A and B are shown apart, each in its own frame.
Chain A
Amino acid sequence: MIRRNDAMKSMPVLLLICGMVLLAGCSPEPPHTAEGLMEEGRRALEEGDYTDAYEALTDLVNAFPQSDLASEAQYQICLMYTGVAQDDYRAKQACYIFMRDFAGRSDSVKVARVQAEMDRLFATRLEGGGLFMIILSWTMILALVVFCYWRIFRARANIQAPLEIDTEGD
């Protein structure tokens, strides 16, 4: 009985957490034409709603990859994240996709503009933050490895527990 109650007590918490995760992923149905999606994306961009703009423009790229508007949409996503939305992580991805998939069928001015942004985004050298993350990660893992193997080789069963386990529940 106690075990059944444990399971039942845990359920509402689990369902609440899972429900929140699922609800976070819900979004309304997008318009079904390239022009409609481009219009929706531009409007959202003007209103400063970058999440909606990204969704509309990405839907366009995914649903109509061969249309001329797809190239323009990917260009707009790249500019949005390098400019007004200021998100280098997404900018790298968006500009990379533009160069990979659309550079061949876009005008040279746009390609040059994205290339300039790429040069800035990927001007890579080891920064202080990177060095810090390397030192932090490596130190944590090495400390754990040394601690564990040190304990293994000096192991003593320092906790005495009965061999026969009580099977009558908690």
Chain B
Amino acid sequence: MAEPGQPRENWGSKIGVILAVSGSAVGLGNFLRFPVQAAGHGGGAFMIPYFLAFLLLGIPIAWVEWTMGRYGGRRGHGTAPGVYHVISGGKRWAKYLGLFAVLGPLGIFFYYSYIEGWTLAYAFFSLTGQYQALQDPQAMRSFLAGFQGVETNSYFNGPWVAYAAFAVVYVINFYFIYRGVTRGIERLNKIALPIMVLIACLLLVRVATLGAPHSDRPGQNFINGLGFMWNPDFSALKDASVWLAAAGQIFFTLSVGLGSIMAYASYLKARDDVALSSLTSNSTNEFFEVILAGSIVIPASFMFFGAMGAQQVAQGGSFDLGFVTMPLIFNQMSGGTYIGFLWFLLLFLAGITSSVSLVQPLITFVEDELKLTRQQSVVAIGVLGFAVTNFIIFTLAQGSLDEVDFWAGTLLPVLNAFLEVAIFAWFFGLTRGFREFDLGADLRIPRFFGFVIRYITPAFLLAILLVWSIQQGWPILTLKNVRPEHRDVIWVTRIILLSVLLLLLWLLVIARRRGRFIKPEEQR
């Protein structure tokens, strides 16, 4: 990120950018979403569609995003509006479509920073033993609901503790963003990622060495817990929803379609490798997700609650797993105070390395296209984000978070990824695309990926987009499952999101009037 008149910033090292993208990808979903998805969709058999989606969806889209980002960065554009403009050869519509890739990550940031605050608060609760007396799921859920401010109970009197944690997390986020790519984001990830590996390994060793926590049930041990998680049920593969769940998991875990990778890659030097760096980030994410997260959460649930309890976890949601089931497990574990602290610290680090990447596209957008200084960018975006997140915090019980999550966290990333791949494969062209892949490359991308990128990946994305739109989108759009008394809040949430989109459109128009989107031939 550069001050006006200065060249754009570059990453300090190759490992720095790899860890930054890995940090962006390794988030709460790795530890909370993947185990639930795998255990609930056929165990080991789930890995077949999962790896196929990794190969056909995750790896190609990541390559495309890295390459588009570096290409745009060379031309002074680090976010989708500018990148689509130069990649499409100056097509008039392209820059407007790019706005969705700025809105998407920003929308996720609006609620993600709040959830990140929960992890910090729960780390504190673990150390102070605040939930230690709670022994059943109902009590732990009540504790969580009180903390969130969804209900007033004996544990909390409103969401003020959660709010304080959010405020702390919010300041930390913007501190790293303000310090810039090299001194802020790169340094954060260089410290956080190794700590995360260490904590996850410690947790894994702790869970693996617990033996059978209930002496009267010796079968409830770590090995059989792995069996619950990994025993393949191949009949699950006949179910289309399992394939869709695997594709969705790969899509979200790699943080593709958000615009964050593109923004990060725009700070690469012209001849920095993208092919191997992208694959390394993806493999780092898979290491966290499959090997570490896949061996901790569900096996631990099985050991303490048995097969039925673990099945309940697998059928439940991610929040339930992270903030209800895991604290209950720690309460039954010797040294649970410290293990609980480490668990929530791990989630916090996973969260913050992701959340800084969610704000980066908008920061890059206003700096590149409007030439704002970093201070101006951070203040303007900080105020906007704070206002919207406050709305979400105080309307959580009415479903505002779920509404933003659907639009920004579910629909827009898939739409953005489709647009990226389509513009890259069909307008930029694969011959030029492969020349860009190969520029400074430490790894030659196999040529059959050309076919995958042109046909398979867009078809896969389009199918996901259509099925989700029909299955989830229509009921959400028509407020089918929303209580009548909550509808006003949902409409206000939509108006806020639309207003943010219009604000971005206005900024884009200003940038265009300042001559930021001249056609390539006019530039010559």
Chain A residues at the B interface, C-beta cutoff of 8 Å: 2-3, 6-7, 10, 13-14, 17-18, 21-22, 24-25, 87-90, 92-93, 96, 99-100, 118, 122-127, 129-134, 136-138, 140-142, 144-145, 147-149, 151-152, 155-159, 161-163, 165-167, 169-170
- Inter-subunit contact A124/B429 (CB<8 Å): no
- Inter-subunit contact A125/B219 (CB<8 Å): yes
Nearest CB of A to B328, in Å: 18
Tell me which residues from 450 to 489 in chain B have a Cβ below 8 Å from any Cβ of chain A.
454-455, 458-459, 462-463, 466-467, 470
Nearest CB of B to A127, in Å: 5
Closest to B465 in A: A18
Closest to A131 in B: B230
Given contacts A159-B444, A170-B432, contact A133 B232 (CB under 8 A): yes
- Inter-subunit contact A157/B441 (CB<8 Å): yes
- Inter-subunit contact B467/A21 (CB<8 Å): yes
- Inter-subunit contact B438/A159 (CB<8 Å): yes
Question: Which residues of chain B are near A6, meaning CB under 8 Å?
Answer: 425-426, 429, 454
- Inter-subunit contact A133/B291 (CB<8 Å): no
Given contacts A88-B233, A141-B283, A152-B442, contact A130 B226 (CB under 8 A): yes
Interface of A is mostly: helix
Give 10 nearest A-B pairs by CB, closest first: A133-B44, A126-B227, A122-B307, A130-B231, A7-B426, A148-B280, A130-B230, A170-B431, A89-B236, A144-B283
Does B315 reach chain A (CB closer than 8 Å)? yes
Give complex CA distance A93, B441 in Å.
47
Does B512 reach chain A (CB closer than 8 Å)? no
Give complex CA distance A145, B106 in Å.
31
Query: What per-residue 1/0 map shows which CB atoms of B9-50 lie under 8 Å from chain A?
Result: 000001100100000000000000000000000111101000
Give complex CA distance A145, B227 in Å.
25
Question: Which residues of chain B are near A89, meaning CB under 8 Å?
Answer: 42, 233, 235-236, 239
Does B224 reach chain A (CB closer than 8 Å)? yes
- Inter-subunit contact A25/B470 (CB<8 Å): yes
- Inter-subunit contact A127/B431 (CB<8 Å): no
Identify A170's interface contact among B227, B290, B429, CB under 8 A: B429
Nearest CB of A to B68, in Å: 13
- Inter-subunit contact A87/B271 (CB<8 Å): no
Question: Which residues of chain B are near A13, meaning CB under 8 Å?
Answer: 455, 459
Question: Which residues of chain A are near B435, meaning CB under 8 Å?
Answer: 161-162, 165-166
Identify A10's interface contact among B226, B431, B458, B463, CB under 8 A: B458
Does B137 reach chain A (CB closer than 8 Å)? no
- Inter-subunit contact A134/B432 (CB<8 Å): no
Closest to A133 in B: B44
Identify A163's interface contact among B287, B302, B439, B443, CB under 8 A: B439
- Inter-subunit contact A148/B279 (CB<8 Å): yes
Given contacts A10-B426, A126-B223, contact A92 B463 (CB under 8 A): no
Give complex CA distance A26, B443 in Å.
44
Given contacts A6-B425, A170-B429, A170-B432, contact A161 B438 (CB under 8 A): yes
Does B326 reach chain A (CB closer than 8 Å)? no
Nearest CB of B to A13, in Å: 6
Tell me which residues from 283 to 325 in chain B have a Cβ below 8 Å from any Cβ of chain A.
283-284, 286-287, 290-291, 294, 302, 307-308, 311-312, 315
Give complex CA distance A156, B239 in Å.
45
- Inter-subunit contact A152/B18 (CB<8 Å): yes
Give complex CA distance A17, B455 in Å.
10
Nearest CB of B to A62, in Å: 12
Give complex CA distance A89, B233 in Å.
6
Does B194 reach chain A (CB closer than 8 Å)? no
Centre residue among A22, A25, A157 by max chain B CB count within 10 A:
A157
- Inter-subunit contact A170/B430 (CB<8 Å): yes
Question: Which residues of chain A are near B427, meaning CB under 8 Å?
Answer: 3, 7
Give complex CA distance A114, B15 in Å.
54
Give complex CA distance A141, B224 in Å.
22
Nearest CB of B to A55, in Å: 13
- Inter-subunit contact B276/A151 (CB<8 Å): yes
Closest to B88 in A: A3
